[in-house]
Amino acid sequence: MKTLVLANQKGGVGKSAICCLLAYHFARLGLRTLVLDLDHQGHATAPLTASGKATVSALTSDRALTDAAAMVEPGDFVLVSAGYQGLLSLESQPDRHNEFARNLRGFLHRMGERFDVCVVDTGPNPDIRVVSALVSADYVLAPIDLGQEAISGIVNLFNAPRVGIATIHARLNPRLQFLGMLPNRVKAVPLHKANLLKVMSSSAYRSKLLARVDKPESGGDFMFLADRMVIQQCQANGQFVADVRGQTAARETWAEVKPVLDRVAEMMGVSK
């Protein structure tokens, strides 16, 4: 099983929407898909539950960290929903943090026999939930909002002392691969254009931090997701944009989104 974490230390960047898009897409590809919602706000839990596509496990995500024998029901597309109070209580138990990380690693190892891919949504707090996910993951993708993010914020995302992606890779999980930053909800406005150009013009960021649609050696374009009302509507209604029929906007949006999702699957080695 390949495990992908959606991570960013800022809220409101669209991690949950991208988590849902990827989960739907992986399941559509015929991959046995597990979704683990570690954000107590449950922004991935609500739409995936409403969609009726995923089996909602009786196990809540906090127990994946606290229960050394945690398991989920059989299924080809299973959601481990956010456990609100349980997740909020984890950070206040520092003497158990190593235990939580070990339990999550054990849970993912057990699930590896039953699923092809696991997508993990995380909250914006740099806490034990994020650390535990990153130390056991294979890949991490970082959605960013060009209306919020400054270069300094992006550097912090990568190099923060506790939960920075490079820090986790160097100290705790050498197999963790950073798939890149994914600009999300990109608008055709001067601020977004200026921020994207600012990031792209820096050779340090261009070479290793922005995700590409094509392989780097091909010189392909950078990945981004445009700000489309259809995506927000589908998230609110528990729908997958590829399943929406009879709407030109949905069809055009899916044509934009699909290459990004396909590229993530390819980078993870799970494309079909």
Per-residue confidence in pLDDT tens, the chain, 272 aa: 999 999 987 777 889 999 999 999 999 999 999 999 999 999 999 999 999 999 999 999 999 999 999 999 999 999 999 999 999 999 999 999 999 999 999 999 999 999 999 999 999 888 999 999 999 999 999 998 876 555 556 667 777 877 788 889 999 999 999 998 888 888 766 666 666 666 666 544 444 566 666 554 434 577 888 889 999 999 999 999 999 998 999 999 999 999 999 999 999 999 87
Q: How many helices (H) and strands (E) does the chain have?
A: 12, 7
pLDDT value at position 155? 66
pLDDT value at position 145? 81
C-alpha distance from residue 85 to each of 82, 91, 155, 227 (Å) = 9, 11, 31, 32
* Paired residues of 212 in beta bridges: 222
pLDDT value at position 206? 46
Q: How many angstroms from the chain centroid is the CA of residue 250?
A: 22
Provide long-range contacts, Cβ within 8 A and 24+ apart, for 27-30: 27/53, 27/54, 27/76, 27/77, 28/240, 28/242, 29/265, 29/270, 29/271, 29/272, 30/272
Q: How many domains does the chain have?
A: 1
Residues 6+ apart with CB under 8 A from 246: none
Segments forming the whole domain that contains residue 36: 2-268
What is the domain-level CATH number for residue 61? 3.40.50.300
- Are 7 and 165 contacting, i.e. CB atoms less than 8 angstroms apart? yes
